[in-house]
Protein backbone atom coordinates (compact mmCIF):
# COMPACT_ATOMS: atom_id res chain seq x y z
CA UNK A 1 0.00 0.00 0.00
CA UNK A 2 1.42 3.35 -1.03
CA UNK A 3 1.45 6.42 1.17
CA UNK A 4 -1.36 8.70 0.00
CA UNK A 5 -0.39 12.03 -1.47
CA UNK A 6 -2.23 15.06 -2.78
CA UNK A 7 -1.98 13.77 -6.34
CA UNK A 8 -4.08 10.75 -5.51
CA UNK A 9 -6.72 12.60 -3.45
CA UNK A 10 -10.30 11.74 -4.47
CA UNK A 11 -12.48 13.36 -1.82
CA UNK A 12 -12.81 14.11 1.86
CA UNK A 13 -14.05 11.19 3.96
CA UNK A 14 -16.97 13.27 5.22
CA UNK A 15 -18.35 13.61 1.71
CA UNK A 16 -19.25 9.93 1.67
CA UNK A 17 -22.32 9.16 3.74
CA UNK A 18 -23.39 5.59 4.43
CA UNK A 19 -25.39 4.37 1.39
CA UNK A 20 -25.68 7.96 0.26
CA UNK A 21 -24.50 9.85 -2.79
CA UNK A 22 -21.12 8.89 -4.10
CA UNK A 23 -18.34 11.03 -5.50
CA UNK A 24 -17.47 10.85 -9.17
CA UNK A 25 -13.92 11.18 -10.44
CA UNK A 26 -11.97 10.12 -13.49
CA UNK A 27 -8.97 7.90 -13.95
CA UNK A 28 -6.54 7.09 -16.70
CA UNK A 29 -7.21 3.43 -17.30
CA UNK A 30 -4.93 1.81 -19.86
CA UNK A 31 -4.26 5.32 -21.16
CA UNK A 32 -7.94 6.19 -21.56
CA UNK A 33 -9.90 8.69 -19.44
CA UNK A 34 -12.54 6.59 -17.68
CA UNK A 35 -15.26 7.65 -15.22
CA UNK A 36 -15.12 6.22 -11.72
CA UNK A 37 -16.92 6.66 -8.42
CA UNK A 38 -16.56 6.02 -4.74
CA UNK A 39 -19.35 5.23 -2.24
CA UNK A 40 -19.58 4.26 1.41
CA UNK A 41 -21.15 0.94 2.42
CA UNK A 42 -21.11 -0.65 5.88
CA UNK A 43 -18.70 2.03 7.02
CA UNK A 44 -16.10 1.46 4.35
CA UNK A 45 -15.34 3.37 1.16
CA UNK A 46 -15.39 1.39 -2.10
CA UNK A 47 -14.41 2.66 -5.55
CA UNK A 48 -15.20 1.31 -9.01
CA UNK A 49 -14.90 2.26 -12.62
CA UNK A 50 -18.24 3.81 -13.52
CA UNK A 51 -18.70 1.32 -16.34
CA UNK A 52 -21.60 -1.13 -16.27
CA UNK A 53 -20.57 -4.62 -17.32
CA UNK A 54 -23.71 -4.91 -19.45
CA UNK A 55 -23.22 -2.15 -22.02
CA UNK A 56 -20.29 -0.12 -20.68
CA UNK A 57 -22.52 2.82 -19.70
CA UNK A 58 -22.26 4.89 -16.53
CA UNK A 59 -24.46 3.65 -13.69
CA UNK A 60 -25.74 6.85 -12.01
CA UNK A 61 -29.47 7.49 -11.65
CA UNK A 62 -28.80 11.12 -11.06
CA UNK A 63 -25.30 12.45 -10.83
CA UNK A 64 -23.41 10.42 -8.19
CA UNK A 65 -26.49 8.44 -7.13
CA UNK A 66 -25.69 4.73 -7.36
CA UNK A 67 -27.63 2.95 -4.61
CA UNK A 68 -30.97 1.22 -5.11
CA UNK A 69 -33.97 2.56 -3.16
CA UNK A 70 -33.23 0.31 -0.16
CA UNK A 71 -29.49 0.96 -0.23
CA UNK A 72 -28.61 -2.72 -0.57
CA UNK A 73 -27.24 -2.71 -4.11
CA UNK A 74 -25.58 -0.46 -6.64
CA UNK A 75 -28.05 -0.19 -9.48
CA UNK A 76 -27.43 0.70 -13.10
CA UNK A 77 -29.94 3.29 -14.28
CA UNK A 78 -30.12 2.03 -17.85
CA UNK A 79 -31.31 -1.59 -17.63
CA UNK A 80 -31.24 -2.35 -13.91
CA UNK A 81 -28.08 -4.41 -13.41
CA UNK A 82 -27.45 -4.77 -9.68
CA UNK A 83 -24.05 -5.02 -8.01
CA UNK A 84 -23.02 -5.87 -4.46
CA UNK A 85 -21.65 -2.59 -2.99
CA UNK A 86 -18.58 -3.98 -1.21
CA UNK A 87 -17.30 -6.23 -4.00
CA UNK A 88 -18.92 -4.99 -7.20
CA UNK A 89 -20.14 -8.52 -7.95
CA UNK A 90 -23.21 -8.84 -10.15
CA UNK A 91 -26.22 -9.87 -8.06
CA UNK A 92 -29.00 -9.45 -10.61
CA UNK A 93 -30.15 -8.07 -13.90
CA UNK A 94 -28.34 -8.13 -17.23
CA UNK A 95 -24.77 -8.02 -15.87
CA UNK A 96 -24.79 -11.84 -16.04
CA UNK A 97 -22.22 -12.49 -13.34
CA UNK A 98 -19.77 -9.88 -14.65
CA UNK A 99 -18.97 -7.42 -11.89
CA UNK A 100 -17.76 -3.87 -11.69
CA UNK A 101 -14.03 -3.16 -11.89
CA UNK A 102 -12.94 -2.35 -8.35
CA UNK A 103 -10.27 0.28 -7.72
CA UNK A 104 -7.80 0.17 -4.85
CA UNK A 105 -8.22 3.09 -2.49
CA UNK A 106 -6.86 4.19 0.85
CA UNK A 107 -8.97 6.01 3.41
CA UNK A 108 -7.31 8.05 6.10
CA UNK A 109 -8.97 10.09 8.83
CA UNK A 110 -9.61 12.95 6.47
CA UNK A 111 -9.56 11.70 2.93
CA UNK A 112 -10.01 9.00 0.33
CA UNK A 113 -7.11 8.39 -2.04
CA UNK A 114 -6.56 6.24 -5.08
CA UNK A 115 -3.94 3.63 -4.30
CA UNK A 116 -1.23 3.12 -6.84
CA UNK A 117 -2.08 0.55 -9.50
CA UNK A 118 -0.03 -0.19 -12.57
CA UNK A 119 -2.72 0.63 -15.11
CA UNK A 120 -4.90 3.12 -13.23
CA UNK A 121 -4.00 6.69 -12.32
CA UNK A 122 -6.11 9.61 -11.20
CA UNK A 123 -6.87 11.85 -14.16
CA UNK A 124 -6.06 15.54 -13.86
CA UNK A 125 -8.98 17.67 -12.70
Q: Which residue in the set 9, 19, 26, 57 belongs to the binding site for ligand FES (CB under 6 A)?
A: 57
To ligand FES, the closest distance from the beta carbon of 20 in angstroms equals 21
To ligand FES, the closest distance from the beta carbon of 77 in angstroms equals 7
Q: Which residue in the set 27, 38, 49, 81 belongs to the binding site for ligand FES (CB under 6 A)?
A: 81
Q: SS3 for the chain, per residue?
A: CCCCCHHHEEEEHHHCCECCCCEEEEEEECCEEEEEEEEEECCEEEEEECCCCCCCCCCCCCCCCCECCCCCCEECCCCCCEECCCCCCEEEHHHCCCCCCEECEEECCCEEEECCECCEEECCC
To ligand FES, the closest distance from the beta carbon of 102 in angstroms equals 17
Contact window for ligand FES (CB under 6 A) among 13-21, 74-82, 103-111, 116-124: 74-82
- Per CB under 6 A, residues contacting ligand FES are 52, 54-55, 57, 76, 78-81, 93-94
Amino acid sequence: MATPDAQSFICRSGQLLERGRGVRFTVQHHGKITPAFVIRFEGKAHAYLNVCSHRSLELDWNEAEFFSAFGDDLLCATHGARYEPSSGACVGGPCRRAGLAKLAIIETQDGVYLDSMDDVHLAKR
